Amino acid sequence: MQYAPLGKTGLRVSRLGFGAMRLPMTGDGDQATVDTDVAIAMIHRAFAAGVNYIDTAVGYCNGDSQRVVGEAVRTWGRPIVVSTKNPCFTRDESEWWRTLEQSLERLGLPRIDVYHHHAVNGVSFDEFVLPHMAAWMRKAKDQGLIKHIACSFHDTNDVLRRIVDSGYPEVITVQYNLLDRRLEDGIAYAHERGIGVVVMGPVGGGRLGVADSAALLSAAPSAARRVPELALRFVLSNPAVDVALSGMSAMAHVEENVCVASDARLLTPEEQQAICGQLERLRKMSELYCTGCGYCLPCPKGVAIPKIFERYNLGRVWGLWGPARQAYRNLGTLAWDPGSRADACSDCGLCESKCPQKIPIRRQLKEAHEALLDSKNT
């Protein structure tokens, strides 16, 4: 297993972390709970292979992840670094403390090693974290309930730099993978300044498939046999990344991940360049279908044409059918994601006369709708 210092925390952590957000479940829908025996066997297999960092959160696995993570850690003979989170949009101090107490109770542990403000962005950092929650975090640290302060982060490089420059968090957890390298500069900036860098989604949420996987794998033929393996190796080859947190849902994922993280072979600059070249080709291929320019809008029926094509491409170009279908089902149901799905189209044809790509929009909308609701495309 590869290890790295987690910034200046003094912790030495495995570069592969166990993400406990997709543990195997038993039961249906909202009533489903984590399949304790299977999940603990998976977690212990990862610990046995040298993984010593595990991350959970209040809401993961129908709110049952912390219980199982706690049991797995308590029944393991050696120290494990436990990370969890507290939501970051509240000014209510008693609510914040209640969340911390509940997490400690569910985990069954006396303290949390790395405690995150969950899903921080520029607005929440300025309006909630710094003026209110930072004092609560420091108090919890003084009381020995938490060891290190962290932020899980979703925003731009500029905001990330600003948070790093504030000198507040000791660790940041950010999204970074082959398909989403937007925060690469911010990650390097944080690492240079001694902030521990944890990456979530290193293999695209565990489902990175890539439709044209043969071409991608041919870019670095000796590095990996499967795209998820290549994706994890790609993230671990970035020296600014201390921990790659992989959400593992089956023993096969655990075995594949520990195998990659135990092998110190990094991708060469030439291999990385070749992989990025292949990804760029795939990205261009998706732009041939729809560039997202929005000239076809507005649609009189509110059909969110470019968003639908973007989700369709997520499946047919990148092989990410699971997230694509989820995002399509959610379209129009969340305040920040307005618009109608393709079945609202009345076939008026207005959009097609405005599309510079000459896309047969109506036909492609129908295809997208069928594919995105097709349970075979998972």
Which residues would be at the binding site for ligand SF4 (CB under 6 A)? 290-296, 299-301, 303, 305-306, 309, 345-351, 354-355, 357, 359, 361-362
Strand partners, 177: 180
| Nearest residue (CB) to ligand SF4, 184 versus 352 | 352
**Nearest-angstrom CA–CA distance, 342 and 332:** 11
Residue 83: DSSP 8-state: E
| Nearest residue (CB) to ligand SF4, 12 versus 283 | 283
C-beta of residue 175 within 8 angstroms of C-beta of residue 186: no
| Nearest residue (CB) to ligand SF4, 79 versus 294 | 294
CB of 285 to ligand SF4, least distance (A): 14
| Nearest residue (CB) to ligand SF4, 126 versus 367 | 367
Q: Name the residue among 234, 368, 222 with its Cα closest to residue 305.
A: 368
Q: Name the residue among 123, 318, 323 with its Cα closest to residue 205.
A: 323
| Nearest residue (CB) to ligand SF4, 67 versus 341 | 341
| Nearest residue (CB) to ligand SF4, 146 versus 368 | 368
Cα-based distances in Å from 62 to 12, 13, 200, 313: 31, 28, 19, 29
User: In sequence order, which residues have a C-beta less than 8 Å from that of residue 313 and are 6 or more positions away?
Assistant: 286, 289, 290
CB of 288 to ligand SF4, least distance (A): 10
CB of 277 to ligand SF4, least distance (A): 24
C-beta of residue 71 within 8 angstroms of C-beta of residue 108: yes
Q: What is the DSSP string of 303-344?
A: B-HHHHHHHHHHHHTT--HHHHHHHHHHTTTSTTS--B-GGG
CB of 289 to ligand SF4, least distance (A): 8
CB of 370 to ligand SF4, least distance (A): 15
CB of 369 to ligand SF4, least distance (A): 11
Q: Are strands 53-55 and 33-34 parallel, antiparallel or unpaired?
A: unpaired
